[in-house]
């Protein structure tokens, strides 16, 4: 099922440049941090749905379970798509930095997020990336970056592997909505420096074109 996570805050973006995990193949991926404006859009049986992100498990998972041929959502289901920042999901720990032992920028223990990834070999041209007017974006344009407000396109599916059941998502595309508060250090500004006097010989060098 294809879903759109609308108006989330971009995080851990690998849209133009894939990443290679410690084990496995190179992947493109993206994570969207949820806030009060975040909603989930999808179409099921020719009907369009628009739900709060908090209803994802209650509304979407039963549909996926039925499509998988299961009578109901399993009591034990590893959810790699939608989780809270303080949860351990499979081999993935909470959103806490091993260096600082604090939550990553943009996260608290109560933060919910959606995430998905796709192997490069399945997406040789990279994921879809567009702006507000659906114009294609490239890396040189400098957006989106982590902290920006975006819409994520994910393909969500349930699976069963080695008697374990779970739900995961492939990352299919991203739409830049607007600039957000970027994570990490702020970009350097000229005002960070004081004005300095220019020596006479330096002025001469500038005049002579050096």
Question: Pick the residue with more confidence: 201 or 80?
Answer: 80
First to last CA, the chain: 61
Q: Which residue has the tokens 């930095």?
A: 97
Structure tokens given for 29: 């991926």
pLDDT of residue 210: 36
Closest to 10 (Cα-Cα) out of 105, 132, 148, 117: 148
Banded model confidence at residue 180, pLDDT cuts 50, 70, 90: very high
Q: Is the per-residue pLDDT at 205 higher than 60?
A: no
pLDDT of residue 77 exceeding 80, the answer is yes
Cα 104 to chain centroid, rounded: 14
Please determine, for residue 209, whether its predicted confidence score (pLDDT) is greater than 50.
Answer: no
CA distance 114 to 80: 8
How many domains, the chain?
1
Residue 156 pLDDT > 50 = yes
Rg of the chain (C-alpha set) = 22
Amino acid 188: pLDDT? 59
> What pLDDT does residue 23 have?
81
Better pLDDT: 191 or 42: 42
Q: 171: which strand partners?
A: 154
**pLDDT > 80? residue 103:** yes
Q: What pLDDT, in 10s, does the model give residues 138-155?
A: 999 999 999 999 999 999
Supply the pLDDT for residue 208. Answer: 44
- Alpha carbons 149 and 6: distance in angstroms, whole number: 9
Mean pLDDT across the stretch 88-92?
Answer: 88
pLDDT digits (tens, 9 = 90+) for 12-69: 999 999 999 888 899 999 999 999 999 999 999 999 999 999 999 999 999 999 999 9
pLDDT class of 187 with cuts at 50, 70, 90: low
* pLDDT at 199 (0 to 100): 60
- Using omega within 30 degrees of 0 as the cis cutoff, is the peptide bond preceding 171 cis? no
Q: Read off the CATH number of the domain in which 114 is found.
A: 2.40.50.140
Q: Which domain holds residue 162?
A: 2-207
Average pLDDT, the chain: 90
Residue 29 contacts residue 181 (beta carbons within 8 Å) = no
Judged on CB neighbours under 10 Å (0-12, 13-18, 19+), 54 is middle
Round to whole Å and give the CA distance between 35 and 110. Answer: 11
pLDDT in tens, 111-128: 999 999 999 999 999 999
């Amino acid at each position: 099922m294809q879903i759109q996570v609308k108006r989330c805050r971009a995080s851990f973006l690998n849209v133009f440049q894939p990443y290679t995990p410690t084990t496995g193949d190179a992947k493109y991926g993206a994570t969207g941090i949820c806030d009060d404006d975040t909603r989930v859009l999808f179409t099921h049986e020719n009907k369009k749905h628009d739900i709060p992100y908090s209803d994802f498990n209650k509304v979407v998972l039963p549909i996926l379970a039925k499509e998988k041929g299961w009578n109901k959502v399993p009591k034990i289901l590893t959810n790699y798509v939608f989780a809270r920042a303080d949860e351990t999901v499979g081999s993935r720990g909470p959103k806490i930095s091993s260096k600082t032992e604090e939550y990553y920028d943009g996260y608290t223990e109560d933060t919910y997020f959606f995430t998905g990834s796709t192997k490069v070999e399945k997406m040789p041209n990279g994921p879809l990336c567009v702006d507000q007017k659906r114009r294609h974006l490239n890396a040189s344009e400098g957006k989106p970056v982590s902290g920006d407000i975006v819409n994520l396109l994910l393909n969500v599916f349930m699976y069963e592997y080695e008697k374990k059941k779970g739900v995961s998502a492939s990352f299919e595309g991203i739409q830049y909505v607007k600039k957000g508060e970027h994570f990490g250090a702020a970009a350097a500004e000229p005002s960070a420096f004081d004005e300095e006097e220019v020596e006479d010989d330096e002025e001469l060098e500038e005049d002579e074109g050096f």
